[in-house]
Amino acid sequence: MKEQIIELLGKGLTATQVAMAVGCDDSYISQLVADPDTKTAVETKRATNLTHYVEHDSRVDKAEEAALERMENLLPFVTKPSEAARIFSVLNGAKRRAATAGPASSAPARTVTLQLPESSSISFTLSHDKQVIEIEGRSLATMPAKNLAQRLEQRNAARLLETKAPALLLNASGQVIDPEAHRQGSKATFTLAEQL
């Protein structure tokens, strides 16, 4: 397991990610990295992987440069607007390295601390692997399908119970029936025009 941890740390994963991957606690990873031999092994793996990544990026950069140069050479021969638009889209989407390679990108990041009012605080519960499982007493666990169907039936039943009777009733011939008189058993009817 120690070799696997060294390998994963060498690939640039965080201690928490490695702990979740191998099924141990973060503190065990910290103890391993505190050992000088393990720390050296992790740094060696990181340096090896970084060299590989730089070589890979260099090959991708060369291929991208050749493709962009070819597109630039073919651009004067493009006659269809759709092809010109597609070429423009590809060129416009190309990574601009000057923006990320400048001194601004190496500036240290600022930490901003926000102080929120007490009323906006939310209590939540975390699992052993630091996943949120409950917010304000409401579980985030997946609900079984049969429970979901039961809840839907309950909600629909409650909605039906809240339904109110209409103020005016119409019979088959289009005459308005007085709901109060209808409840008492009389047949008081009148046309809608008479009601208005």
Domain coordinates of the chain in residue numbers?
2-97
Place of tokens 């390998």: 7
pLDDT, tens digit, 9 for 90 and up, residues 95-119 = 665 554 444 444 556 778 878 787 7
pLDDT digits (tens, 9 = 90+) for 78-97: 777 787 777 777 777 766 65
Pairing of strands 176-177, 169-170: antiparallel
Q: What is the pLDDT of residues 20-61, one digit of tens each?
A: 888 888 888 888 888 888 889 888 888 888 888 888 878 877
Q: Residue 184's pLDDT band (boundaries 50, 70, 90)?
A: low
Greatest C-alpha distance within the chain: 99
pTM for the model = 0.36
What own/partner pairs with CB < 8 Å and gap ≥ 24 does 24-29 have? 29/5
Which tokens go with 41? 């092994």
Own/partner contacts of 169-175, CB < 8 Å, gap of 24 or more, are: none
pLDDT in tens, 132-163: 888 888 888 777 777 888 888 888 888 887 76
Order of strands, sheet of 124-126, starting from the edge strand that comes earlier in the sequence: 124-126, 132-135, 138-139
User: Residue 25 and residue 19: Cα distance in Å, rounded?
Assistant: 6
Confidence at residue 104, expressed as pLDDT on a 0 to 100 scale: 45
